[in-house]
Amino acid sequence: MTSDHAATQNRVTRSQRDAGFAEAADPYCLRLGEARTLLAGHPWRRFAVLGDSIAEGVTEPVPGYRPLPLADRVAEELNRSGPGTAYLNLGRRGLRTHEVRATQLDPALAFEPDLALVVCGANDALRPGYETRADAVDHDLAAMIEALQTHGARVITVSIFVRSAYPSLPAWLTPPPTERMATLARRTNAIAARLGTTHVDLADHPTARDPRTISTDGLHGNGRSQAIAAAEIIRALAA
C-alpha cells in the first residue's frame, strides 16, 4: 500500500469514526441506542410525510452530525425498531399549505399510512399578509390531519423553530417574519391540541435562536437542527 493510499484510508476511517460524534454528545439529540429503546415494539408499518421544504429535507451538513434530514431520520429509526416499515416522503420545497393539501393528500391516503408527519405553513407565514390568510391556512392543515386520522393514521405535527432573524428575506417585509412565524406556531399548537395529534413544539426550543443551527441560506435548519427535531419527534412518539 502506498503512503498516499494509506493516508486516504486513514481519512475515510477518521471520517466514518467522527460522523455523528458531536451529535451523540449533543444534549438535545438522541443518545446512542436511545431511539431503538424508545421505539421498541412500535406498531407503525407505513410512514408518510407531507409538507414543504422541511418535509422534503432541505438542509446543510454540519461536521459531527449525520447528514440525514428530519423525516429520513425518523423513518430510519422506525425501520430499525420495526424492520420493513414502508416510507413515503411527498414533501416539496416552496409549497404553501393549500398546495400541499391539493397535491399530496390523495397520494398519501392511497399509500394507506398508519403514521403520518404533516409539516407546512412556513411558506404562508413568511409572506406579508399572512394574518389575513391564517384562517384558511388553519383550515387546510386541519383538513389534512382529519383526513389522515379518518383513514387510521396517527398524525405528527410540528411547530418549527422560530428564528430571531431571517437574513435571506428582504428587510422591508413587515411585520417581521419572526412575528408571523410565532403566530403560525401558536395556531399550529392550537390545531394540534384540538385534533389530538402527536405534537412537537419547537418554536421556543433553546436552540431556535442559535445561529449555529441555521443553514447558510439563512432560512432552513442545518444538520444539527434536523437531528434535534428528529429527537423530539421520536421522544414524542414514545411518550
Determine the pLDDT at residue 73: 97
Q: How far is Cα 22 from Cα 226, in angstroms, rounded to an integer? A: 13
C-alpha cell at 23: 451529535
Across the range 86-104, mean pLDDT stands at 98
Predicted confidence (pLDDT) at residue 16 exceeds the cutoff of 50: no
Q: What is the percentage of the chain residues whose pLDDT exceeds 90? A: 78
Average pLDDT over residues 37-61: 97
The whole-angstrom separation of Cα 226 and Cα 112 is 26
pTM of the model: 0.88
Task: Please report the pLDDT score of residue 182 as a whole number.
Answer: 94
Q: Which residues pair with 51 in a beta bridge?
A: 119
Tell me which DSSP letter residue 115 carries.
Answer: E
Residue 161 CB neighbour total at 10 angstroms: 24
What is the average per-residue pLDDT within 119-129? Answer: 94
Confidence at residue 3, expressed as pLDDT on a 0 to 100 scale: 39
Mean pLDDT score, 57-85: 95
**For the chain, what percent of residues have pLDDT higher than 70?**
90
pLDDT of residue 128 exceeding 50, the answer is: yes
pLDDT at 61: 94
Question: So what's the pLDDT on residue 174?
Answer: 66
Q: Where are the domains of the chain?
A: 3-238
Q: What is the mean pLDDT of residues 34-63?
A: 96
Of residues 2, 232, 1, 239, the one with CA closest to residue 117: 232
Give dist(CA 239, CA 235) in Å, integer. 6
Q: What is the pLDDT of residues 169-204, one digit of tens each?
A: 777 666 678 999 999 999 999 999 999 999 999 999
| Distance (Å, whole) CA 233 – CA 78 | 11
Which cell is 180 given?
408571523
Radius of gyration of the chain (CA): 19
Q: What is the mean pLDDT of residues 4-12?
A: 36
Residues 6+ apart with CB under 8 A from 31: 24
Q: What is the pLDDT of residue 196?
A: 98
Q: For the chain, what is the mean pLDDT?
A: 90
E-state strands within the chain: 46-51, 86-89, 115-119, 154-159, 198-201
CA 67, chain centre distance (Å)? 14
**Quick check: 79 pLDDT over 80?**
yes
Q: Which CATH architecture has domain 3-238?
A: 3-Layer(aba) Sandwich (3.40)
pLDDT of residue 177: 86
